[in-house]
Amino acid sequence: MTPDWFPVHWLTGLYPWTKALHVISVIAWMAGQLYLPRLFVYHCAAAPGSEASETFKVMERRLLRAIMNPAMIATWVFGISLLLTPGIVDWAAGWIWVKVVLVVLLTFFHHLLALWFKAFRADANKHDARFFRFMNEVPTLAMIGIVIMVIVRPF
């Protein structure tokens, strides 16, 4: 049974703003998801304790804490607001379910990036540059899939 508060009718007038803020947050989140693994690739070449390594730690911390964490939260808040807006999502369509799976994957990947960030911070990284170059493809492929789902809506 659908609860009384669903869908949330006052969100209708806000719809263009909610969508604009969702896309702005997505861009900031994706910028970080694509750039942080690349920083890890370069960080692998810097000896622990070196000046370069300490500089990478500062760049990684700022990217994760000041941009990616708030952008991920904002993406979820505005994305869920869009889901709650009357008439926007037809749950009988397939695309929304594929999108939800890919977004959960991106959120999981964000947490993996945070774990790798902590390992670098403690000079305890166990992976090589090839690993991070490979991992760089995960957000790229997920983002391509999500954009095709929301724009093309193939099923």
CA distance 40 to 131: 10
The CA R_g of the chain, rounded to the nearest whole Å, is 18
Q: Which of 21, 22, 36, 95 binds ligand HEM (CB under 6 A)?
A: 22
Q: Which of 21, 26, 39, 44 binds ligand HEM (CB under 6 A)?
A: 26
Q: Which stretch binds ligand HEM (CB under 6 A): 16-24, 55-63, 112-120, 121-129?
A: 16-24
Residue 60's nearest CA partner among 9, 119, 17 is 119
Q: Which of 20, 23, 52, 112 binds ligand HEM (CB under 6 A)?
A: 23
Is the Cβ of residue 98 or residue 103 nearer to ligand HEM in the bound state?
A: 103
Residue 38's nearest CA partner among 136, 149, 152, 139 is 136
CA distance 85 to 88: 6
**Residue 35 found at the interface with ligand HEM (CB under 6 A):** no
Contacts (Cβ under 8 Å, ≥6 apart) of 152 = none
Residues that bind ligand HEM (CB under 6 A): 19, 22-23, 26, 30, 75-76, 79-80, 82-83, 88-89, 103, 106, 143, 146-147, 150-151
